[in-house]
Amino acid sequence: MIFGTRILLFRLIVFGIFALAQGYLFARIRQAIRASRRPARFKSRAILLVGAAMGLLFILNAFLVFRHFPWVDPPMVAQVGLLYPAAVWNFGSVFSALVLWLARTVGGLGRKIAQACRDLAGQTAPVPVDPGRRRFLRAGVGGLATAPLLLSGYGAAYASKAYDVQEITLPFGRPLRVAHLTDIHAGLYMPREEMRRYADLVNQLHPDLFVLTGDFISNSMSFLPACAEEMARVRARYGTFATLGNHEHWFGTLREIRAVFRQHRIALLNNAHRVIRTEQGSFAVAGIDDLRTGRPDLEAALRGLDPAIPALLLSHRPEIFPRAADRGIPLTLAGHWHGGQIKLSLLGVDVSLAHLLSPYPEGLYRINTSHLYVSRGIGTTGTPIRLNAPPEVTLFLLT
């Protein structure tokens, strides 16, 4: 209950920021319309139209987030005409408003400094205004203000679909081809058609083992059956194994999730392991519950497992890695952080919320002979936008 209250409070804060940003943008747009040379009737209608459009997009996005609308497989026209515009506008408007505010603040400060310098120099005559220069500056600021919206549109329309296929060779003790998907987030922005495309791609990799590390759904259990059905289309010699993420705990129960996975023959490893025997020797696949919202128990997951058998550990969150390394697990696979989802790379340093919150936001890590790989996942959360953190399908060539 406390956790749910915190999530609600966080969302209210985020939408409060959206409301402030869009209120500021509306004020600036209204000011620009009023300053134009258009007829008064045109100005009033333009202001009304802009306000109505902004309000509609804001309300639509709030409804989709707070009501958890279980619209399974929305048609393309709805995605293009409603869902993505609302998400792009609400995210991009914050940074557009910030650009305009900074431009006005810096411009005002510059004028005050210039006036102070003129006062010190004894120049009392007013400086003539150059209309051409003013129009040029306004156009430049307007262009900068639209850049966040354009980037957001790019991140939703293209970057979230431009997946990477990562092939990684690691020592394990058994020769295996392991395909890994995580953070599918089936929902309004990850429909069945998109999940099928990823399942077909994994099939083309001819994996021996297919593993999934949680967050199958976005915000409703209504999306889980289609997700499980599409992931079950993957044919792997030794089967498909999964573990739970935080979104499953937020919106579902272990009992109903087990039932869906059992129906589609996906083995759910919740603080458990499975030993698989091959011609090259046995190996184990272990899985633990989500580290924060579930009841993770690494000891239970490994109980009774012969230490001589190499084990692959599945965990939604990667912070289990030091403990896994202490137990001699050669490879841990995780996700959760989406590689930051929206990431800046400045002077060789990656900056995102994930990079600030976790020592394992994405990529490969090593402690002694143990490795951790954190996938960027294929879905999105909060917003359907990815920037500088493309979706990822990972194939491990284990030796």
Tens digits of residue pLDDT in 7-54 = 778 778 888 999 999 999 999 999 989 988 899 999 999 999 999 999
Instruction: Say yes or no: 121 and 240 in one domain.
Output: no
Per-residue model confidence (pLDDT) at position 70 = 78
Identify the domain containing residue 23 by its residue range: 2-159
Q: Which residues of the chain have pLDDT under 50?
A: 1
Instruction: Say yes or no: 192 and 126 in one domain.
Output: no
Q: How far apart are CA 50 and CA 52, in angstroms?
A: 5
Q: Is 68 left (phi over 0), alpha (psi -120 to 50) or beta?
A: left
Instruction: Say yes or no: 137 and 209 in one domain.
Output: no
Instruction: Say yes or no: 257 and 142 in one domain.
Output: no
289, β-bridge pairs: none
Instruction: Say yes or no: 198 and 121 in one domain.
Output: no
Q: Who's near 276: CB < 8 A, 6+ residues apart?
A: 209, 238, 239, 282, 283, 284, 285
Per-residue model confidence (pLDDT) at position 82 = 85
Q: How many domains does the chain have?
A: 2
CATH number of the domain residue 193 falls in:
3.60.21.10
Q: How far apart are CA 268 and CA 262, in angstroms?
A: 8
Instruction: Say yes or no: 263 and 332 in one domain.
Output: yes
Contact 175, 399 (CB under 8 A): yes
Instruction: Say yes or no: 135 and 233 in one domain.
Output: no
- Cα–Cα separations (whole angstroms), residue 337 to 61, 96, 359: 23, 26, 11
Final residue in a domain of this structure, among 136, 159, 182 = 159
Q: How far apart are CA 304 and CA 243, in angstroms?
A: 19
Per-residue model confidence (pLDDT) at position 36 = 86
Contact 177, 206 (CB under 8 A): yes
Instruction: Say yes or no: 67 and 173 in one domain.
Output: no
Final residue in a domain of this structure, among 140, 159, 178 = 159
- Cα–Cα separations (whole angstroms), residue 92 to 99, 173, 174: 11, 48, 47
Per-residue model confidence (pLDDT) at position 132 = 59
Instruction: Say yes or no: 139 and 188 in one domain.
Output: no
Q: How far apart are CA 162 and CA 20, in angstroms?
A: 32
Instruction: Say yes or no: 104 and 205 in one domain.
Output: no
Per-residue model confidence (pLDDT) at position 244 = 97
Contact 318, 358 (CB under 8 A): yes
Tell me 127's DSSP state. Answer: P
Final residue in a domain of this structure, among 159, 186, 213 = 159
Q: Who's near 242: CB < 8 A, 6+ residues apart?
A: 211, 212, 213, 214, 216, 261, 266, 267, 268, 269, 287, 314
Instruction: Say yes or no: 64 and 99 in one domain.
Output: yes
pTM: 0.89
Instruction: Say yes or no: 252 and 147 in one domain.
Output: no
